[in-house]
Amino acid sequence: MIGAIAGDIIGSCYEGRKHNIKTTRFPLFKDYSHFTDDTVLTVAVADAILHGSPYVEKLKEYYALYPRAGYGGAFKKWARSEYAGPYGSWGNGSAMRVSPVGFALDSLDAVLAEAEASAAVTHDHPEGIKGAQVAAAAIFLAREGKSKLEIRDYIEATFEYDLSEPLDSIRSWYARDYTEISCQGSVPQAVIAFLESEDFEDAIRKAISIGGDSDTIACITGGIAQAFYGGVPKDIEDEVLARLDERLSMVTLEFREKYLR
């Protein structure tokens, strides 16, 4: 889970067309690197899992605690309302917040079911659910020691994502429209960044280097990379924890103590 948070914080400086970069050579952290809604909602999902709380309750609670974290318009409208049902989203918010599911559950079937549950409270569109399931399943398979080839083959066969395009090719055209905010327009690319990586840091750099919704893509990649590479380098983890407030840090560390020992 902290790998996903690292991706969010590192990517926060490079999100959007004015700040996108198309290289892996950039400072990992700047003075203004900060957590965004990706981190807030990832911790909300972790909190719900830790304490058996409904996802709707925790997502709305964390929105109220961090109302300026950078949420999408539809989520903000939902979070401010008394409405508790989903709103049909196919956006990548379901995939960005799902990493705790991939780490906490003990079987692939359970991961897929819980990923759907965590997504469907807002993102009940089939693509919104699929994106969350792909990200969570990749984390679980990485935890189980599956190879990158096995992870890729499972995702392509089960979810019909095409993971064959090299990152260099993606980088040449990606983020010319707004499809990168969708699950189908960002989750495959986040997985490919992981598949082409050499270590955790390289995975984050590659995810950010394609441009687009950089913090969210790196958040998705970071969760998978943490599971596959067996953690997050200490220097990166220390930088990440220093940028969280007490509440977010406490839940993150509590989750790690329970599920990642």
147-150: Cβ within 8 A, 24+ apart: 148/194, 148/195, 148/228
> What pLDDT does 110 receive?
98
* Three-class HEC string of the chain: CHHHHHHHHHHHHHCCCCCCCCCCCCCCCCCCCCCCHHHHHHHHHHHHHHHCCCHHHHHHHHHHHCCCCCCCHHHHHHHHCCCCCCCCCCECHHHHCCHHHHHHCCCHHHHHHHHHHHHHCCCCCHHHHHHHHHHHHHHHHHHCCCCHHHHHHHHHHHHCCCCCCCHHHHHHHCCCCCHHHECCCCHHHHHHHHHCCCCHHHHHHHHHHCCCCHHHHHHHHHHHHHHHHCCCCHHHHHHHHHCCCHHHHHHHHHHHHHHCC
Q: Which of 214, 241, 226 is nearest to 102 (CA)?
A: 226
> What pLDDT does 175 receive?
79
Q: Residue 68 has which token pair?
A: 């300026």
> What pLDDT does 178 receive?
61
> What pLDDT does 176 receive?
61
> What pLDDT does 237 receive?
97
The domain defined by 2-259 carries CATH number 1.10.4080.10: yes
Distance CA 171, CA 239 (A): 27
The residue type found at 185 is G
* Sequence spans of domains, the chain: 2-259
Q: Using only C-alpha atoms, what is the Rg of the chain? A: 16
> What pLDDT does 64 receive?
97
> What pLDDT does 42 receive?
98
The residues of the chain scoring below 50 in pLDDT are none
> What pLDDT does 180 receive?
76
Question: Model pTM?
Answer: 0.97
> What pLDDT does 18 receive?
84
> What pLDDT does 216 receive?
96
Q: Residue 245 has which token pair?
A: 């407030």
Q: Which of 171, 166, 157, 233 is nearest to 201 (CA)?
A: 233
